[in-house]
Structure 1
Amino acid sequence: MIRLNQLSMHYMLGESRIDILHEVNLEITAGERVAIAGPSGTGKTSLLLLLAGLERPAAGSVRFDDRSLGELDRDQLADLRRDCMGIVFQSFHLVPSLTALDNAALPLEIAGCRDARARARVLLDKVGLGARLDHYPGQLSGGEQQRVAIARALVHEPKLVLADEPTGNLDDRTGAAIGELLLDLNAQTGTTLILVTHDMAFARRCDRVLRLSGGALTEMQFESDDTHAQPA
C-alpha cells in the first residue's frame, strides 16, 4: 500500500542541516500495523505528514495505492485524504464551533453520507463519550478532545490511519481502550495502521516497530526483554 523510495527530508537549524529522513526505502503492506518510535525531536510527526501528503520531501517519493503523492495537486491530495485516510494529530484540530458529534461526523458529512451522525454517535459511544455528544471542544478535557479526534479519524473506516501519539494524553484505562479500538478496526476492516508512540507495550502489539533516529529508519527486533535494531 505504501512505498517510500529514497525519501529524504531535512530542515535547517541556523547553519546546521538536520536530516529527518535520509534516502529511506520502506514498504508497508495493506492491513499492516506499524509503530514508529524514537527520541523526541527526530521527525516522527514529520514522517506522518509526508505519508499524508501534508509535507513535501526534499527528494525521493511517497507512493500510496500505487499513486505518487508528488504527482498530485492540492485538491487531489485533499480528496485522497478525505476518502482513504484517517489522521489523528497530537493537537486534535477539532472545529471549536461544532459539537463532539458534529466534529466526529464531519468526514462523512463532507462525503455526503446520509447516516453520518448515526455512525459518529456509535463510534463516540465506543470511545466513552456517549454522554458528551452535544458538548463543544472548549467544554471537554484534553483527553476527551483526543477521543473525539480519534472517532473522527475512524468514522469513515479509512484504508489508512495515521496516528500521532493517539494515547499520549489519556489515562491508562482510556488509553488501553483507544489502543484496542485502533487494533480492532485494523483486524475487522483491514485498515492499515501507522502510529507514532512512546508506549512500547502498545507498539509491540503491532506487526513491526520502526525506530527513527539520525535520519534513518531501523526495524526493532524484540527478544525477551531486550530490543535490537536492524535496517528497515
Structure 2
Amino acid sequence: MIEVNQLSMTYQLGGRSIAVLRDISLRIEAGQRVAVAGPSGSGKTSLLLLLSGLERPASGRIAVDGVDLASLDADGLADLRRDRIGIVFQSFHLLPSLSALDNAALPLQMAGRRDAREKARELLARVGLAERMHHYPGQLSGGEQQRVAIARALVHRPRLLLADEPTGNLDDQTAASVRELLFELNRELGTTLVLVTHDLDFAARCERVLRLHEGLLHEARADALPA
C-alpha cells in the first residue's frame, strides 16, 4: 500500500536549511493500522503531507497503492487524493457555508458522482449524525464536526486514510468515541489507516507504532513512548 525509500524533507528558515525528515524508509501493508508518534516539531505532520502528495520531498521516493507520487503533476496528485486517499485534519477544515451533508458529499460531487448526497447520507448516519446532517459546522459540537470530517474523508471509500491528531481537539469522552469509530470503519472498509497521535492509548491499539525523533523514524512499542 505505502512504500517509502530514503525520504528526506527540508525547510528553509532564515536562510538556513532545516532537515525535518532524514533518510526515511518505510513499508505499510494494505489494511494495517499504523500510529506515528513523536514530540512536537519532529516531522509527523510533514510525513502525512508527503504521503498525501500535498508536499514534495527534498529527495527519496513515495509510492501509494502502486503509484509513484513523483510521476504525477498537481492535477494527477489531486486525482489520486480524490480517488484513493482520505485525510482527516485536527482542525476539521469543514466549509462553514455548507451543511454537514454537503461537506461530506464534496469529494464525490467533485468527482461528478450523481449519488454523492445519497452516499454522504449513508455515511453520516453510520457515524451517528443522521439527525444533524442539515446543520452547518457552526451549529455542531467539536466531536460532531470531526465525525463530519471523517465521513467526508471516507465517503469515496479510499484505500488509504491519513489522520492528523484526529482526537486532539476533543474532550476525553468524545475522543474515545471517535477512536472507536475510526477503528470500526477501518475494519469494515479495509482502509489502511495511518494516524498521527499523542494519545498513547490510541497508538497502543494500532498494529504498529512508529516514532519520529530528530528526523529519524523507528519502530517502537506504545508503552515505551514518552508521555
Deviation per CA, 1:142-195, whole angstroms, max 9, x where unpaired? Answer: 333222111100112210000001111222222222212211222222210000
Size of the aligned set, in residue pairs, is: 226
Using the alignment, how far apart are the partners of 1:185 and 1:128 within structure 2? 13
Tell me the equivalent position of 1:221.
221
Structure 1 residues 188 and 140: CA distance shift in structure 2, 3 A: closer
Tell me the equivalent position of 2:81.
81
Tell me the equivalent position of 2:71.
71
In structure 1, the residue corresponding to 2:224 is in which secondary structure? strand
Extract structure 1 runs of 4+ deviating beyond 6 A. none
Contact kept? 2:87, 2:163, Cα under 8 Å: yes
Tell me the equivalent position of 2:136.
136
Structure 1, unpaired ranges of 5+: none
Tell me the equivalent position of 2:18.
18
CA displacement at 1:61 relative to structure 2? 1.1
Using the alignment, how far apart are the partners of 1:60 and 1:115 within structure 2? 39
Tell me the equivalent position of 1:168.
168
Using the alignment, how far apart are the partners of 2:39 and 2:63 within structure 1? 26
Structure 2, unpaired ranges of 5+: none
Using the alignment, how far apart are the partners of 2:148 and 2:127 within structure 1? 8
Contact kept? 2:200, 2:225, Cα under 8 Å: no
Tell me the equivalent position of 2:91.
91
Residue pairs, 1:117-128, within 5 angstroms: 117-128=117-128
Q: Which amino acid aligns with 2:224?
A: T
Structure 1 vs Structure 2 CA RMSD: 1.8
Contact kept? 1:203, 1:209, Cα under 8 Å: yes
Taking structure 1 as the reference length, the TM-score comes to: 0.90
Using the alignment, how far apart are the partners of 2:216 and 2:171 within structure 1? 32
Tell me the equivalent position of 1:193.
193
Contact kept? 1:34, 1:206, Cα under 8 Å: yes
CA displacement at 1:217 relative to structure 2? 0.5
Tell me the equivalent position of 1:5.
5
In structure 2, the residue corresponding to 1:57 is in which secondary structure? coil
Deviation per CA, 1:39-60, whole angstroms, max 9, x where unpaired? Answer: 0121211110000000000011
Deviation per CA, 1:56-87, whole angstroms, max 9, x where unpaired? Answer: 00011111122210110111111110000100
CA displacement at 1:128 relative to structure 2? 3.1
Taking structure 2 as the reference length, the TM-score comes to: 0.92
Q: Which amino acid aligns with 2:31?
A: G
CA displacement at 1:4 relative to structure 2? 0.8
Contact kept? 1:127, 1:178, Cα under 8 Å: no
